[in-house]
Amino acid sequence: MKGIYNIMVTPFDGNDRIDEESLRSVVDFQVSKGAHGLTILGLLGEGQKLSDAERDLVIDVVMDQVKGRIPVVVTTSHMSPSVVIERSKRAKELGAEGVMISPPTLLRNMDAVTQFYATLKKELDMPIVVQDEPVATNVIMPASFLANNGLPIIKLEDPPVPQKITQILNQNPDAQILGGLGGQYFIEELERGAVGTMTGFAFTEALIEMYDLFNAGKQQEARDLFYKYTPILRYEGQANVSVSIRKEILKRRGAIKNADVRSPGAKLDAPGMEELTKLLDYTVQVTGNPL
């Protein structure tokens, strides 16, 4: 599981229903931009706001539209291990390549976290991505735990991410670490040994180009390109409103029809829209990459 996995948005229509047409459109958009894989129903995909029936609908539509072109990872996190197992097996039945699972929220006992992942490893015959995202879960998993829990694929979002990558790989050189945090530290993550990233950054093709340059030995060119996208990376990554910003960019890029975020969820205000327009104009100017 290497490369650029786009964490996909879940589009809604004007009546708070899943927009199946836009969902198919954004799948094709990400495939056309070169995404190596898709991750669905994560925080950016507002999976925590969907019913079980809606989750099944999203998985079914995405798998039908992907048609095996690239792998799909489904986020199946839940407080209950039994629900995680049920969701994960259902995702596999529908064609998922793997699942991404964070520890149960507020679970502070590391012995309990160890048992949680041990149970999943025993019950699930598929790749499991351990999501290390303490801002959302309030669970801090030390580098020593992530390096030695028997689950080698890790999505790392516990700053400082580059430093934690080194700590994990020093203990387990075989760990496969994917960055996150909107791609804001993508180059540093690669330099520290990450095998790719899972992010919802709205310019997937830029991350692909950076990744290809880096792996072709052109690290400085990759860094120079990264710096050109840094202003929009920074703006996109704002806490609480990042989903709204990314949906708005995807709308402007023609990938989805509507940028609505399901409640509760912060929305970009009018001044924010103006700021975004200026940043997108700047990004197009310095990169030569049209919307």
Give 223-237 as a DSSP string.
Answer: HHHHHHHHHHHHHHT
Report the chain's mean pLDDT, rounded to a whole number.
Answer: 96
pTM score:
0.95
266-281: b (≥16 Cβ within 10 Å) or e: ebbeeebeeebeebbe
* pLDDT tens column, 235-256: 999 989 999 999 999 999 999 9
CA–CA gap between residue 87 and residue 63 (Å, rounded): 15
Is the pLDDT at 11 greater than 90? The verdict is yes
- Which pLDDT value is given to residue 145? 96
CA distances from 283 to 142, 145, 186, 286, 291 (A): 37, 40, 18, 5, 9
Which segments within the chain are labelled E, that is strand?
Answer: 3-7, 37-40, 72-75, 98-101, 128-132, 153-156, 176-179, 196-199
- Which pLDDT value is given to residue 1? 87
Band of pLDDT at residue 108, cut at 50, 70 and 90: confident
177-188: b (≥16 Cβ within 10 Å) or e: bbbbbbbbbbbb
Q: Where are the domains of the chain?
A: 3-216
3-216: CATH topology is TIM Barrel (3.20.20)
